[in-house]
Structure 1
Amino acid sequence: MIMKKINNPVRFWCMMLFIVLFYGCETFLEEKPSKDLVIASTIADLQALMDAGNKLNLGNYPGLLEARTDDVYIGPGGLNRLTVYDQNIYLFDDDYQEDGESILMSWFYTYSTIAIANTVMDELSFVKEGTSIERDIIQGTALFHRALGHFLLAQVFCDVYEESSADQKLGIPLKKTSDTSEPTVRSTIHETYDFIEKDLLEALELLPENTTYLTRPNKAAAHALLARFYLSKSDFENSLFQSEKALEYNADLIDFNELNSASSFPIAAMNKETLFFAYSFGIGFLHHSRECYIDSVLYGQYDDQDIRKKVYFRALANGKFSFKGTYMGFGSGSFFVGPTTSEMYLTSAECYVRKGEPERARETINTLLKYRWERDYIYMIEEEDPQRLLDIILMERRKELIHRGVRWTDIRRLNLDARYRKDIVRKVERDDNIYTLPANSSGFIYKIPRVVINFSGIVQN
């Protein structure tokens, strides 16, 4: 998955070791390491660092994005095999230890991607060679990665964005440089989102229109991430603009009629819908070996002529269903987090109806569904009532984007609207108990790892 041959692997891995040991543990350090340890000297060195898929695109994003959604449930046997920590996460127990593996990975792994991006940007000023275009691309790529990392962390470790309270509520620590002596302090939610927006808009200006590899961001990817960013703020006008701009670069959709739905994983990695390839290592109990099943109510929303019912789900011997419709090309507890064209169609459709353009909304959602339903079965959404049309589009968004790292953000933003406010409920078969995560409760904000609190002194959620 690495995109290019690294000419000097010793140099590269020394630099990686520097980042992991020194920047990744910055909360433990008071002293900035010697500048002599930073050894990037060419544009190729910096590009190699940005191409380090195993440190950026491939895994290092918060697995907690999918841990408490309403899309799956764990069978009794799988639940009994979970650690106490994972059981508490799954069952909405606020007494989970903040040093559990999923918390630590979600925090430190994602901040490590930000550390790499910051190191590249800081070192770029010391590298004298390279054309202006090459330097712009390196800078834009690093900004994109830093923004993606901060954005996904914000979905896990701070409250949902509300304009009225964004200046009062705590956001996440913003890492703006590779200086390990920089204090770790929590910004406000407003400051967090302003910083992410600034990075993405700057990246958009610097990134190329096309890239050779889908693990490298381009303008379409930046527009798409901006569309997701603005939607998380319920800024429908800007989200619509960005999603439509992304589709101007790539509006391709996979015709699900042409997929082998009997395959273990019918959707290939790096497919034509992918605008940027990235995934999370996930969390252990999302793996099929933990009896991770698809919510039966959600499964019932797919019509028999909807090909996603066969492409996305695997029927099991016990009558339940597991997920196989990943955009990663393989299966595990991991899940895809990169933006896709299908996400952009759904974002545009939602924003169109919210802005009072139901005709455009219907046109957009029907374009997507034409590639999801059986060819011999003509299915068109003709609903004219704006409220019912929005209901349909939001359900289609949930059905299409399952295990794409966006459901958690959608639940949080929709909980601000009384029409869509939703408690998440777990029924545990082993004891017939009901566990509930009330809408807008503190359980929608994860605790920061205790080790970070102890060493930095920042305020806990």
Structure 2
Amino acid sequence: MKKIYLSLMLLGALTFTSCDMDKAPYGSLDENTAVSEMQDLTKFRDQLYGTLRGVTAGSWVYTTDIQLDHFIGLVTNGNNLGMFSTGTILPTDGDIEGFWASSYSSIATCNAILAKCDEFAAKPDLSESDKQLVERYKGEAKFTRAYMYLWLADHFCQSYTQVKGGPEAKATGLPIVTTYNPTSDFTKYPSRSTLKETFNLINSDLSEAYTALKAYEATNNKDVAALLQPCAIYLSSYAVEALQARVALLTGDWATAKAKAESVIENGNYSLANTSNYKEMWEDENSSEPIFRPFMSSPSEIGGSTGALFLSDNQQSAQYIPTFGTVLSYADSEKGSDVRFEAFFTEYDNIVIDGEGFDSYVFNKYPGNDALKVGQTKNFVNMMKPLRLSEMYLISAEADARLNNNNPARLNEFCANRYSGYETHTYENAKKLLDAVLEERNKEFIGEGMRWSDIRRLNIGFQRYKSNPDEDGYPIYSQVVLSADGIVYDAGDHRLTWPIPKRELDSNPNLKGQQNPGY
């Protein structure tokens, strides 16, 4: 897709992208002439949900999982995402450039919508119902901007809890843009903020989003009830709190993480999928667990394919397969039979490589929704569930352990819905409880991009499972990309933070000397 760099974004017209790296931009809208009536503002606001649909699916989700230890590439994958799989991360890579550019393009959209909302709010003849909508749209824009800055910070900045020099160190955060103000004056292009300043903006935006959406939920508008139901297609105050809990986890603010997670759990609107229906959450899309599920419909409103990387439409080839060690971690547990084993992995006996068929487990968490196919070909597109109740249970449980409260209640509730025959566990100390929580996070969120955040904030490394086809009795391992096999990252490896794209550094002189360490 056409790349739009931060420096160019500050120059250009108001442009909207789908934020799916495999799709072209939606097009453009002249914000001075096209947004004059309330219905125009409503259409303008729809771009926020296009952003959220795009950045919670496809390569935005799976790229970091390919970089880490759960998956290994097959020799027939055409080197797709090979840079990430082999750990040869470069500032000139097109994927790195695209993620950065699309994120800032989405932030520009948020800023433009916020400016238009302020214009509408100042109109003296605006009705009370329209005032309510304007404030709601502002809340949604603040949430989306916070989401994008958080995504950028979690990929292009060092971890908040591990950053060298602390989060107040200079040039450790992101270039911050909060107004839509196109300019050709490069002296006004922003340099990098501190990481603390970046997260202050994220937290401020989320706080304002919560207030705005909570106020809308207190109205008698007919759509309020739908906002507070599982799989809501629009943002609610509970979706904001869920993201606030995640931010607090990433920054080590355990008290806030606990409070926000508990607020979502205790409201009673959502419930964990259980051992009898967990797999259906991924196959049939409907579940009591998702707090927010961006809307998709074929053919014009689908997100990127999250599952096609792991299985072809003819079900005879795959680009990446789960490592044998990953599969084994689900197959044998003292806690009971793990429902996620069947939900995430399927065994095929004819994955064809150079004319020879191999037995292989494939990752099938995203089997594809037939209603989202474009034509007859299986495209492995699913409605994504970026904010789920399971995350809140595990955040609450981790916060208990971090606060030295050796209370396994939330973890036990979670595990009872993931393991058949699960018996309540006790833990002799908070460290044992924490280890158990982190193990469940690793298993629950495979293929959702969460392990990246955890490895960074915990300051741990990894070694990808080293293949041994004869010893494992798994012949397909003779067909993996050798340069990616058994790869090791030490704790704090610089590649766990992506580089600022070289073209961005070249375009913005105020970023001189502000590249991330190791690049």
Determine if the TM-score, normalized by the shorter chain, exceeds 0.5: yes
Structure 1 stretch displaced more, 298-307 or 120-129: 298-307
Which residue is equivalent to 1:115? Answer: 108
1:340 aligns with 2:337: no
Which residue is equivalent to 2:325? Answer: 297
The alignment-based identity, stated in percent, is 23
Which residue is equivalent to 1:440? Answer: 492
Task: Give, in angstroms, the shift of residue 97 of structure 1.
Answer: 5.2
Give CA deviations for 1:63-92 in whole Å, capped at 9, x if unaligned. Answer: 5443422222222332xx115xx3222111
- Unpaired stretches in structure 2, ≥5 consecutive residues: 15-29, 218-223, 295-301, 313-317, 350-357, 371-378, 468-479
Q: Could you tell me which of 324, 342, 346 is aligned with 1:310?
A: 342
Paired residues, number: 423
Which residue is equivalent to 2:243? Answer: 225
Task: Give, in angstroms, the shift of residue 220 of structure 1.
Answer: 0.5
Amino acid at match of 1:358: N
CA separation of 1:352/1:321 partners in 2, compared to 1, >3 Å: closer, same or farther? same
Tell whether the 8 Å contact from 1:335 to 1:405 is kept in structure 2 after alignment. no
Task: Give, in angstroms, the shift of residue 345 of structure 1.
Answer: 0.4
Task: Give, in angstroms, the shift of residue 397 of structure 1.
Answer: 1.3
Give CA deviations for 1:404-430 in whole Å, capped at 9, x if unaligned. Answer: 222110110111xxxxx2234375845
Tell whether the 8 Å contact from 2:293 to 2:383 is kept in structure 1 after alignment. no
Matches within 5 A, 1:25-424: 27-28=7-8, 37-52=32-47, 55-60=50-55, 62-63=60-61, 64-78=63-77, 81-83=78-80, 86-94=81-89, 96=90, 98-100=92-94, 102-127=95-120, 128=123, 129-131=126-128, 132-162=131-161, 165-168=166-169, 169-181=171-183, 183-208=189-214, 209=217, 210=224, 212=226, 214-249=232-267, 250-258=269-277, 266-269=282-285, 271-278=287-294, 281=304, 286-289=309-312, 290-302=318-330, 303=333, 305-317=337-349, 318-326=358-366, 329=369, 332=380, 336=384, 338-359=386-407, 362-374=408-420, 377-415=421-459, 421-424=460-463
In the alignment, the residues of structure 1 paired with residue 11 and residue 415 of structure 2 have an alpha-carbon distance, to the nearest angstrom, of 56
Task: Give, in angstroms, the shift of residue 38 of structure 1.
Answer: 4.8
In the alignment, the residues of structure 1 paired with residue 83 and residue 46 of structure 2 have an alpha-carbon distance, to the nearest angstrom, of 36
Which residue is equivalent to 2:505? Answer: 453
In the alignment, the residues of structure 2 paired with residue 394 and residue 36 of structure 1 have an alpha-carbon distance, to the nearest angstrom, of 46
Q: Secondary structure at the match of 1:301?
A: helix
Task: Give, in angstroms, the shift of residue 328 of structure 1.
Answer: 7.9
Tell whether the 8 Å contact from 2:283 to 2:367 is kept in structure 1 after alignment. yes
Task: Give, in angstroms, the shift of residue 103 of structure 1.
Answer: 1.4
Q: Secondary structure at the match of 1:51?
A: helix
In the alignment, the residues of structure 1 paired with residue 249 and residue 397 of structure 2 have an alpha-carbon distance, to the nearest angstrom, of 12
In the alignment, the residues of structure 2 paired with residue 27 and residue 152 of structure 1 have an alpha-carbon distance, to the nearest angstrom, of 19
Q: Over aligned residue pairs, what C-alpha RMSD do you find?
A: 3.2
Which residue is equivalent to 2:374? Answer: none
Give CA deviations for 1:278-333 in whole Å, capped at 9, x if unaligned. Answer: 59748899443443112322322223611111112222224432222249857749
Task: Give, in angstroms, the shift of residue 29 of structure 1.
Answer: 6.4
CA separation of 1:152/1:312 partners in 2, compared to 1, >3 Å: closer, same or farther? same
Which residue is equivalent to 2:464? Answer: 425
Give CA deviations for 1:222-269 in whole Å, capped at 9, x if unaligned. Answer: 11000000101122111111111122333411123135x5x8x84433
Q: Secondary structure at the match of 1:353?
A: helix
In the alignment, the residues of structure 1 paired with residue 135 and residue 292 of structure 2 have an alpha-carbon distance, to the nearest angstrom, of 19
In the alignment, the residues of structure 2 paired with residue 380 and residue 156 of structure 1 have an alpha-carbon distance, to the nearest angstrom, of 37
CA separation of 1:388/1:39 partners in 2, compared to 1, >3 Å: closer, same or farther? same
Task: Give, in angstroms, the shift of residue 350 of structure 1.
Answer: 0.8
Structure 1 stretch displaced more, 55-64 or 227-236: 55-64
Give CA deviations for 1:113-143 in whole Å, capped at 9, x if unaligned. Answer: 2222111100112223353322221111110
In the alignment, the residues of structure 1 paired with residue 31 and residue 271 of structure 2 have an alpha-carbon distance, to the nearest angstrom, of 47
In the alignment, the residues of structure 2 paired with residue 332 and residue 257 of structure 1 have an alpha-carbon distance, to the nearest angstrom, of 23
Amino acid at match of 1:256: T
- Unpaired stretches in structure 1, ≥5 consecutive residues: 1-19, 416-420
In the alignment, the residues of structure 1 paired with residue 501 and residue 145 of structure 2 have an alpha-carbon distance, to the nearest angstrom, of 20
CA separation of 1:327/1:97 partners in 2, compared to 1, >3 Å: closer, same or farther? same
CA separation of 1:404/1:30 partners in 2, compared to 1, >3 Å: closer, same or farther? closer
In the alignment, the residues of structure 2 paired with residue 306 and residue 159 of structure 1 have an alpha-carbon distance, to the nearest angstrom, of 34
Q: Give the TM-score, by structure 2 length.
A: 0.73
